[in-house]
Amino acid sequence: MNARVAGSLSRWFATLLAAATLTAVAVASGIDATKSEIAATFRQMNVPVEGRFKIFHGVVNFDPVNLTAARARIEIDTASFDLGAPEYEEELRGKEWFDTSAYPKASFISSGVVAVGPNRFEAKGKFTLKGKTQEIKVPFTRRSDGGVQVYEGELPISRKAYAIGSAEWDDTLEDKVIVKFRITAAK
Amino acid sequence: MNGGARYTGMAISLHWLIALLIFAGWGLGFYMHDLPLSPAKLRYYSWHKWMGVTTFILAFLRAGWLATHPAPRLPRVIPPWQTRTARITHFVLYLLMFLIPLSGWLMSSAKGVPTVYFGVLPLPDLIGKDKALGDFLVQVHKWLAFGLAALVGLHIAAAMKHHFMDRDGLMGRMVPFLKSPRL
């Protein structure tokens, strides 16, 4: 692929992304937060503890017959992490953990989607948390549910890759955090 | 009439093992609950839960053992109201050996921090995560533990009375290497 084609392609993608975002705002293919859920389960001494991000928003544009156009963009309010234990939530907003005053948002911006099986897909993209960005792959399934689309999946995330938790926690808290999501969008 | 008989070796072992776990559980419970969050705090919570599960299991064994190996009867010279009080105290002590670990188990589930015995065996969550219920169960767990403390205090006081005031050798039925009762 020569530079001009690449350039025009990237411009085309940028236009598409902008259009998708605009469409999302206008036609509301945005995420329905009331019917969506993003949870993170960490393990301390093999004890699984699940928390949920209460506030997030974004857009999903997905058409299984036109995967190249599929896009997702999700922004998560890191201070909204709910463990059901206020004293721990307060701690998790601190510098050693999410550091929510310096990094109030985590985000996932997809760069492409491929089909990996019947009704099973994998989105590639950039996940940014606490100012650190990693390229991740997000497996998910999709189903229609009364006129809306429901995307579900789970993936392991390394907390250390995003500097979540200081070294003193390494013996107690597993590096692997399981992120589970159920995203409901209009289309 | 075998008023002079001791408890069986198994009953004595279970009694002291559970006593040890109860005191350790209290100590750790009091100490850990208002520590600031740290890896150590979570470790203490896990240990405390393991102690509770162990106590719960031992309490079952102990109740089963008691059912098949009745406790030696109290000497006739002890006034009936004291015998009755002892019986009630022992019954409630047994009850609390079950209820306190159970309340801790339910509280863990309601708090969303399940119990994983020795870090390998996950106990099922009998109830779902529920903050209000969790806070309530903390109070239940705490007050049952205080109730147990009061009863254990009474239990020890009675044992001391028999040993140092009545000098009837009753404590020898449960204390290894102590002289057996003279009654």
Of B43, B112, B116, the CB nearest to A50: B112
Question: Domains (ranges, CATH) in chain A?
Answer: 3-186 (2.40.128.110)
Question: Are residues B129 and A48, on separate chains, in Cβ contact within 8 Å?
Answer: no
Question: Which mean pLDDT values do the consecutive 10-residue runs of chain A (187 residues) have?
Answer: 54 53 49 93 94 94 87 95 89 95 96 93 96 96 90 96 94 96 88
Looking at beta carbons, which pairs linking B146-151 to residues 24 or more positions away fall under 8 Å? Answer: B147/B96, B148/B22, B148/B93, B148/B96, B148/B100, B149/B26, B151/B89, B151/B92, B151/B93, B151/B96
* B32 touches A at CB < 8 Å: no
ipTM above 0.90, yes or no: no
State residue A26's pLDDT score: 35
Q: pTM for the whole thing?
A: 0.83
Question: Are residues A84 and B131, on separate chains, in Cβ contact within 8 Å?
Answer: yes
Residues of B in contact with A173 (CB under 8 A): 39
Question: Are residues B119 and A44, on separate chains, in Cβ contact within 8 Å?
Answer: no
Of A45, A47, A88, the CB nearest to B37: A88
* Whole-number Cα distances in Å, A171 to A21, A50, A175, B38, B40: 43, 19, 10, 12, 10
Question: Are residues A85 and B111, on separate chains, in Cβ contact within 8 Å?
Answer: yes
* B111 touches A at CB < 8 Å: yes
Of A47, A88, A91, the CB nearest to B46: A47
Which of B122, B120, B127 minimizes the C-alpha distance to B103?
B127
